[in-house]
Structure 1
Amino acid sequence: MFIATNPTTGEEIHRYPLDDAETLEARLQEAAAGFIRWRKTSFEERAALLKRVAQLMRDDQERLARLMTLEMGKPIVEARGEVQKAAWCAEHYAEQGAGYLAPLELASDAKHSYVQYLPLGTVLGILPWNAPFWLAFRFCAPAIMAGNSCLMKHDPHVPACAEAIAELFTQAGAPWLLQNLRLDKEQTATVIQDDRVRAVSLTGSSGAGSQVAALAARQIKPSVLELGGSDPSLVLADADLDKAAEVLALSRIINAGQSCIAAKRIIVEESVYQPFVERLQARLADLKMGDPAEESTQVGPIARDDLRQALHRQVSNSIQQGARCLLGGELPTGPGYFYPVTLLTQVTPAMQVSCEETFGPIAVVMSASSAAQALAMANDTPYGLAASIWSADVASAEAMARDIEAGQVSINGIVKTDPRLPSGGIKGSGYGRELGPQGILEFVNVQQVWIGPAQAG
């Protein structure tokens, strides 16, 4: 049973039954049969479908946004933005997919030789709760534009969001193109192993990624994994401290800090450490926490109470280990799963909030004696998702980016995902890429075509 709880009140709001064996089999058959039809469609037909879906999202923005606010506590202003971003992703691949998948001419001994990009089949997407619409379209839009069909196993805590995403494709006239599956862990493993599923995409924890990757590999199926992160942000001595504090405060508290690419370890050169902390504290202190349905709310609740309790243990243990708490750090009383915006300073690499991923509005500030030490601290993590560098010397920052062990680096700007640019991690943060031209190439058959006769020379 998928049970959704409103994190603002702690009360159950609805529940959905798991798919039975008959329902699951019917959806697998529909996806496989749909792929046979869809793979023969033109890029123009695929683009038209994605644009219809995008327009449906834009037309129904308010209802869709409020589903997120209700089920996982995303502030309503952010939720509306997520709906728009998901629509943008669909439109981007509708407009750029044909170009990304254009055949590539390659010289050889053939009269004519080239590479073409063909769809694989049905792709299974396994998704988390923290960005229900955006992560669904980040997975499905490029796969669909490439000619694949999709099955979506969404998080059990956002069942109404998942149903609404699938319904968009029904309204657009292609209910078989993306179907929602309500599955438990064992059922999900069965689907991964089914011959009709040709590839798997997972966004989630490193533990879940390891299990899915192993299962897919045993079936010799490609997978893309976007996993956790402990993303460093390096504030160097020549940085614009006001701008860095403004952007990093935002990066840390978007979605109440429940984001893989949030700024989780802010590493500051010691010569500007104190003035930066003062600026960051002032910005964090001004943020309004409250009911995510209210327009003025900037920080909503944590999605689940178990996540809130785990977050508080990380904060409490780090304070016991010597971190200094300048804001927050206390578990609130009252209904809902709220956690205050918290600022921890004097954090060292051995402390829990540094060596573990923190999923909440917890700003962690560390001191480095030099840019070189800041870089070493940034790489001292099992993760490698994203990072940012703040410096007036852009050329030096670009050189430093080459030495940062992460799949994405922003210089003097917020780390974000963008349909036009590839996103993904290394090390414990996963492998493969989503978005951009690289993302659409993950789930295609890169087929070489050689046309004779062979040419001399």
Structure 2
Amino acid sequence: MTTGCWLDGAPVDAAGRSLPLVDPTTGEPAGEVRCASPEQVEAALAGARAARRGWRTTAPGERAAALRAAAASVRDHADVLGDLLVATTGRLVGQARGSAAVAAELLEEAATTGVLDAGRSLAGSSGAIDVVRREPRGTVAVITPWNDPFPAAAGLLAAALVAGNTVVHKPSERSSGPGAAMAALVAAALPPGVLQVVTGDGEVGEVLVADDRVDVVAQVGSTATGRRIGAVTGARGAIALLENGGKDPLLVDAGVDPAWAAAQVAAGAFTNTGQLCTSVERVYLHADVADAVLAELVELARGLVVADPADPDSQLGPLVDERQLAVVAAHVEAARAAGARVLAGGERLDRPGAWYPPTVLVGCTDDMDVMTEETFGPVAAVRVVADWEEGLRLAGSGAYGLAATVLTPDTAHALQAADELEVGTVKVNAVWGGAPGGSADPRRSSGRGRGYGPDLLGELTALKAVHLEPAPPVRR
């Protein structure tokens, strides 16, 4: 395993700028992240370009076998990868190790399904053959986030690689060590140059996005970064696949069990300290059940064990760093100043590190940042609504469109929500879950393109129509 660069089949120490690392649990310095130098980024791009022909002409079965070998390696190292993520971002140890195991599953899934669709035949004339072929697009830059780096990277890497593309991957500088370590395990199972790994921040990412040798940029991360990527790639005719921020709503209908509904809200708002793309960030409670759900939710929030993420008994770890804590605290304070009431939490914990407790706010209004901007912290921001129709209208509003959850015993309401909510994923009666392979398009400020599921392969391949007729015999 290596936490540095991986270039042309070998680990390489990054030789560029240094970025400080801070332990989110203690607030103490924890070393540094070295960025790839400009020369190393150039070498990564050149190496991926040089490897393109050899990889695209490799038999699909051989590409799939390489991904299976990579999946086995990631699975064998899941505990080590998870522990590295705990130390870097403060994620709970069980969740971190499980996240690495999910990455292995995604690699295997792509190895199984990614070689099945090679194109289709067309109904042409009887004396000719007409087909549509799927071909790799070329070189893909994969730029991934810090909060859940293993599955986010594995899904994109696997789809790009099994389709015959070469890849240059840059994990987030906020989880550079874990991200580079997993990517290196994948790269070690592939021919040299097929997967290049570079470390660094936005400065390194800018070079990848702007380079004409990159045909597709696949990014999971902030909306601001996604918009910048979309502008740069659009200007030069490249493709951008973007899964960006969210402000996911959860709507609780009348007639639900209050304890169950509160547990769903808590799971959505507090898992990974609220630092997931599809975390629940705004909650709409039907007036008929609001008081009962809030009472249960406050009890759950106050009872969560907020402790060292390496402790298996801990239920909530720290935020990733002081910068993220400042965003969360600012949203809560602004809401409080504008009239929202804090029923649980609401103040950073008095201990070293980036600790913020599970927080429940009620009386939130649509003009508050905590209801409109991505908070990315353990905050359940609640608005009570008069009826289902008001709640559905509010849940469907806003600048983002990543996912939404509704809790309802009414089948008609469930079907209405699935039809009317303009988001990529609608979840009914379960804030987490879903079958593997689901494809979805994020809407509005949440991005564009199918960033996961079998349809992702379509984004990472180009269609080519081929018409074949026999040449006429030579006249003598």
Q: Which position in structure 2 is the counterpart of 1:81?
A: 98
| Superimposed CA distance per residue, residues 17-71 of structure 1 (whole angstroms, 9 cap, x where no aligned partner) | 3222322222112211222111111221111111111111111111110110001
- 1:200–1:223 Cα contact (<8 Å) kept: yes
| Superimposed CA distance per residue, residues 198-228 of structure 1 (whole angstroms, 9 cap, x where no aligned partner) | 1101111111111111001111000111110
Are 1:201 and 2:218 matched, yes or no?
yes
- 2:400–2:443 Cα contact (<8 Å) kept: yes
Q: Which position in structure 2 is the counterpart of 1:189?
A: 206
Report the Cα distance in structure 1 between the residues aligned to 2:202 and 2:95, rounded to whole angstroms: 30
Report the Cα distance in structure 2 between the residues aligned to 1:108 and 1:3, rounded to whole angstroms: 62
Q: Amino acid of the residue matched to residue 27 of structure 2?
A: G
Q: Structure 1 vs Structure 2: percent identity of aligned residues?
A: 33
| Superimposed CA distance per residue, residues 319-361 of structure 1 (whole angstroms, 9 cap, x where no aligned partner) | 1111111100012222110100001112121222111111111
Report the Cα distance in structure 1 between the residues aligned to 2:99 and 2:138, rounded to whole angstroms: 28
Are 1:103 and 2:119 matched, yes or no?
yes
Q: Which position in structure 2 is the counterpart of 1:63?
A: 80
Are 1:125 and 2:142 matched, yes or no?
yes
- Counterparts of 1:377-396 in structure 2 under 5 Å? 377-396=394-413
- 1:386–1:415 Cα contact (<8 Å) kept: no
| Superimposed CA distance per residue, residues 132-187 of structure 1 (whole angstroms, 9 cap, x where no aligned partner) | 21111122111111111111111112221133123203432435232221244344
Q: Which position in structure 2 is the counterpart of 1:27?
A: 44
- 1:122–1:199 Cα contact (<8 Å) kept: yes
Report the Cα distance in structure 2 between the residues aligned to 1:186 and 1:299, rounded to whole angstroms: 32
Q: Amino acid of the residue matched to residue 53 of structure 1?
A: A
CA shift at 1:189, angstroms? 2.3
SS at match of 2:173: coil
CA shift at 1:424, angstroms? 4.1
Report the Cα distance in structure 2 between the residues aligned to 1:166 and 1:82, rounded to whole angstroms: 14
SS at match of 1:440: helix
Over aligned residue pairs, what C-alpha RMSD do you find?
A: 1.8
Q: 2:288 aligns with which of 264, 271, 284?
A: 271
SS at match of 2:342: strand
Are 1:350 and 2:367 matched, yes or no?
yes
Report the Cα distance in structure 1 between the residues aligned to 2:424 and 2:273, rounded to whole angstroms: 23
- 1:267–1:368 Cα contact (<8 Å) kept: yes
- 2:136–2:163 Cα contact (<8 Å) kept: yes
- Counterparts of 1:53-452 in structure 2 under 5 Å? 53-99=70-116, 101-107=117-123, 111-415=128-432, 419-451=436-468
Report the Cα distance in structure 1 between the residues aligned to 2:292 and 2:394, rounded to whole angstroms: 21
Q: Amino acid of the residue matched to residue 185 of structure 1?
A: G
- 2:118–2:134 Cα contact (<8 Å) kept: yes
- 2:74–2:186 Cα contact (<8 Å) kept: no
SS at match of 2:459: coil
Report the Cα distance in structure 2 between the residues aligned to 1:298 and 1:186, rounded to whole angstroms: 35
Q: Which runs of 5 or more residues in structure 1 are unaligned?
A: none
- 2:33–2:200 Cα contact (<8 Å) kept: no
CA shift at 1:119, angstroms? 0.4
Report the Cα distance in structure 1 between the residues aligned to 2:113 and 2:327, rounded to whole angstroms: 42
- 1:86–1:134 Cα contact (<8 Å) kept: yes
Report the Cα distance in structure 1 between the residues aligned to 2:327 and 2:105, rounded to whole angstroms: 34
Report the Cα distance in structure 1 between the residues aligned to 2:233 and 2:183, rounded to whole angstroms: 24
Q: Which runs of 5 or more residues in structure 2 are unaligned?
A: 1-17, 471-476
- 2:327–2:375 Cα contact (<8 Å) kept: no
Q: Amino acid of the residue matched to residue 103 of structure 1?
A: G
Quick one: structure 1 residues 398 and 115, their matched pair in 2 at CA, closer, same or farther if it must change by over 3 Å? farther
Q: Amino acid of the residue matched to residue 201 of structure 1?
A: A
Moved more, 103-112 or 171-180: 103-112
SS at match of 1:271: coil
| Superimposed CA distance per residue, residues 278-307 of structure 1 (whole angstroms, 9 cap, x where no aligned partner) | 222222222111100111111100001011
Moved more, 415-424 or 245-254: 415-424
SS at match of 2:400: coil
Report the Cα distance in structure 1 between the residues aligned to 2:19 and 2:436, rounded to whole angstroms: 30
Report the Cα distance in structure 1 between the residues aligned to 2:29 and 2:156, rounded to whole angstroms: 29
Q: Amino acid of the residue matched to residue 297 of structure 1?
A: S
CA shift at 1:451, angstroms? 3.9
Report the Cα distance in structure 2 between the residues aligned to 1:108 and 1:388, rounded to whole angstroms: 47
Quick one: structure 1 residues 131 and 350, their matched pair in 2 at CA, closer, same or farther if it must change by over 3 Å? same
- 1:169–1:177 Cα contact (<8 Å) kept: no
Report the Cα distance in structure 2 between the residues aligned to 1:433 and 1:102, rounded to whole angstroms: 19
Report the Cα distance in structure 2 between the residues aligned to 1:272 and 1:108, rounded to whole angstroms: 62
